[in-house]
């Protein structure tokens, strides 16, 4: 680093001692103890004497926007968009300046502004949404859903063919255009899964919540690429406008890799701010379920779906039928646990194979995926539908279901929504929890339970033998009770997976049960009163008593007897994941002093 640059940084130490200005952000935060201030990718680049990097700088508590901008300027960088939701600013900096900037007291965290990519006839019937429409009368009317994607085709008949436009607002964070458009086509497909009304197909290809209103935020360009700073800016817009547009759900079918803990990643931190504002964030799990040779791969869940406060969706296949009994997990669907934090994910799976939704004739996908275009049942100037697969398609199935749930019970919080979806999901025992999460989405059951929890005294608990009757709270699988409307776990200031509330009380989910008979007005269902299995690292033990086999470093953690996660070496530094049916899996290193080598478990 040049002497001139060192002197300029020393000068800025003076800036950090000046009291905060009127422009001080309230969202800035201190870095969690023990965490590096420079993420792994930037740490490697910081050794280079040439080149520049686009970064997101999260400011320390009390730092003013003016002083951080001055710091960027002195470092030879250029300031970009402010991200007030997380107290951060985008900047482009010389690589040689990264280390010194990260060490500055004005800075809490420096992360790469990573790139992101865009990760119906039988779908609604398979998950039970058609029953919700016809028998329960819910279609998402009055509920706002934000779609963070590549835009939308506003002229598509299915987004306004009955005279009721679905799009409340369009925000272009890529090119700054005012009128709605979608030059890639991914966002239009997602929007149709959520709220298309099926006009061009006689209703056959209607979305999950055809009455919902959409706020569309464009973050992907014409080839499906973008930056996480654009997603964070979209989150910021959603929070700022949630009341005016009644936004209760955000769908994020875009993703990036996991390069740091969800506690520090600016994308996942921003998602937490959205959830704390009372908005459900639904994200695709990613399409990394197989390695290049076709073997099952664990640990491929993408961000922001790796965060516990996000409702993360893997993909299933309805196999071309409306019968749930033949549904399977899509081979591409990402499996947990998550990289770096080893969190249990996904939260649920939903149909994501061969999903028929809206096309945009002016988009890239209309040309590159021409073989998957479909005709409607009314005359149109182009083929109005497109069949696509991916967790990007599964996520909006869940987002639409959430809109139905909130229409049935507007008082639901994000944690309560996730718990209901998992509790009512349908489990197939041959899939482990890190593949299927809570189970296969059951929209009908979720809406019925949401409706009941709105006024528990007026109805009979809508129990069903087909429900999983369990939730995955953090890395613990909890079962043996019924969810209750007033449980402390549903508060917006309680992070999913927390053991205690901010006030220090034990987290509660509902009412305890004895021999599967539940007293709806009984005592709290707490840790210890419910049956809990640790989904990731092993069973819950009480003294010498353990619920489930535990042999050496191999922990069978599924109540169905499937091996979910293989543990660590005696040194505690090796993580090897796999199941008994899989071939060789390498997911860590064994280190002795300074020497490290891969650890292999052959699955035999």
Residues known to be catalytic: 149, 186, 392
CA angle 345/349/353 to nearest 5° reads 130
Residue pointed to by tokens 């007026």: 458
Quote the DSSP letter at residue 572: S
Contact present, 405 and 417 (Cβ < 8 Å): yes
The CB density around residue 411, as the number of other CB atoms within 10 Å, is 11
Taking a C-beta distance cutoff of 8 angstroms, is the pair 543, 537 a contact? no
Distance CA 333, CA 315 (A): 5
Query: How wide is the angle at C-alpha 432 spanned by C-alphas 427 and 435, nearest 5°?
Result: 95
Identify whether 453 is preceded by a cis peptide bond (ω within 30 of 0): no
How many Cα atoms are found within 13 Å in the side-chain-facing hemisphere of 215? 22
Q: For residue 89, what are its two tokens?
A: 């600013």
CA angle 98, 104, 109 (to 5 degrees): 65
Among candidates 117, 80, 118, which has minimal Cα distance to 229?
80
User: Is the link from the previous residue into 304 a cis peptide, with omega within 30 of 0?
Assistant: yes
Residue 110, beta-bridge partner list: 38, 57
Cα 404 to Cα 132: distance, rounded to the nearest angstrom: 8
Query: DSSP secondary-structure letter at 13?
Result: H
Residues paired with 577 in a beta bridge: 565
d(CA 342, CA 416): 23
Write the DSSP string, 101-124.
HHHSTTEEEEEE--EEE---TTHH
Structure-token pair, residue 333:
């669907």
Look at the alpha carbons of 47, 49, 51, 57 in this order and tell me if their dihedral is positive or negative: positive
Helix (H, G, I), strand (E, B) or coil at 525: strand
Please choose, from the candidates 401, 403, 393, 441, the residue with its C-alpha nearest in 3D space to the C-alpha of residue 189. 393
3-state DSSP helix/strand/coil % of the chain, to nearest 5: 25, 25, 50
Structure tokens belonging to residue 345 = 């994910």
Listed residue (400, 448, 404) closest to 423, CA to CA: 448
């Amino acid at each position: 680093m040049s002497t001139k640059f060192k002197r300029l940084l020393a000068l800025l130490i003076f800036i950090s001692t000046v009291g905060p200005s009127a422009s001080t952000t309230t969202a800035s935060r201190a870095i969690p103890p023990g965490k590096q201030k420079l993420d792994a990718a930037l740490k490697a680049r910081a050794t280079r004497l040439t080149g520049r990097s686009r970064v997101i700088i999260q400011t320390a508590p009390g730092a003013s926007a003016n002083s951080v901008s001055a710091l960027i300027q002195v470092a030879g960088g250029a300031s970009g968009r402010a991200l007030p939701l997380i107290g951060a600013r985008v900047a482009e900096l010389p690589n040689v300046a990264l280390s010194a900037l990260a060490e500055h007291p004005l800075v809490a965290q420096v992360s790469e502004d990573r790139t992101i990519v865009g990760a119906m006839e039988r779908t609604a019937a398979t998950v039970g949404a058609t029953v919700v429409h016809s028998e329960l009368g819910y279609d998402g009317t009055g509920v706002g859903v934000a779609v963070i994607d590549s835009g939308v085709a506003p002229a598509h008949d299915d987004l306004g063919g009955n005279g009721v436009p679905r799009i409340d607002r369009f925000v272009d964070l890529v090119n700054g255009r005012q009128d709605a458009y979608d030059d890639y086509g991914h966002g239009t497909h997602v929007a149709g899964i959520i709220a298309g009304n099926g006009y061009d197909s006689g209703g056959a290809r209607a979305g999950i919540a055809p009455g919902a209103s959409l706020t569309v935020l464009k973050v992907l360009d014409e080839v499906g690429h973008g930056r996480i700073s654009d997603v964070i800016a979209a989150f910021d817009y959603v929070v700022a406008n949630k009341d005016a547009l009644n936004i209760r759900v955000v769908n994020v079918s875009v993703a990036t890799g996991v390069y740091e803990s969800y506690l520090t990643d600016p994308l996942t931190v921003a998602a937490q701010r959205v959830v704390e504002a009372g908005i459900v964030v639904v994200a695709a799990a990613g399409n990394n379920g197989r390695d290049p040779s076709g073997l099952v791969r664990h640990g491929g869940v993408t961000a922001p779906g790796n965060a516990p406060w996000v409702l993360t969706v893997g993909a299933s296949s309805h196999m071309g039928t409306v019968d749930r009994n033949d549904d399977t997990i899509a081979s591409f669907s990402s499996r947990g646990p998550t990289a770096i934090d080893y969190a249990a994910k996904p939260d649920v799976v939903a149909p994501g194979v061969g999903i028929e939704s809206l096309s945009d004739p002016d988009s890239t996908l209309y040309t590159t995926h021409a073989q998957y275009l479909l005709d409607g049942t009314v005359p149109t100037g182009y083929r109005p539908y497109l069949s696509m697969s991916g967790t990007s398609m599964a996520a909006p199935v869940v987002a639409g279901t959430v809109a139905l749930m909130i229409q049935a019970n507007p008082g639901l919080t994000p944690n309560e929504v996730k718990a209901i979806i998992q509790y009512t999901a349908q489990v197939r025992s041959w899939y482990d929890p890190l593949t299927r999460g809570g189970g296969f989405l059951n929209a009908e059951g979720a809406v019925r339970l949401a409706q009941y929890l709105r006024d528990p005294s007026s109805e009979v608990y809508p129990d069903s033998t087909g429900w999983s009757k369990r939730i995955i709270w953090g890395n613990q699988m909890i079962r043996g009770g019924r969810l209750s409307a007033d449980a402390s776990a549903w508060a917006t200031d309680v992070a999913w997976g927390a053991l205690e509330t901010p006030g220090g009380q034990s987290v509660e989910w509902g009412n305890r049960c004895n021999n599967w008979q539940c007293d709806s007005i009984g005592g709290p269902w707490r840790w210890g009163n419910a049956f809990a299995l640790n989904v990731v690292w092993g069973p819950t033990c009480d003294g010498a008593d353990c619920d489930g086999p535990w042999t050496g470093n191999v922990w069978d953690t599924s109540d169905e007897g499937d091996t979910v996660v293989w543990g660590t070496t005696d040194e505690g530094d090796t993580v090897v994941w796999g199941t008994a049916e899989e071939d060789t899996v390498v997911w860590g290193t064994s280190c002795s002093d300074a020497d490290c080598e891969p650890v292999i478990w052959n699955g035999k």
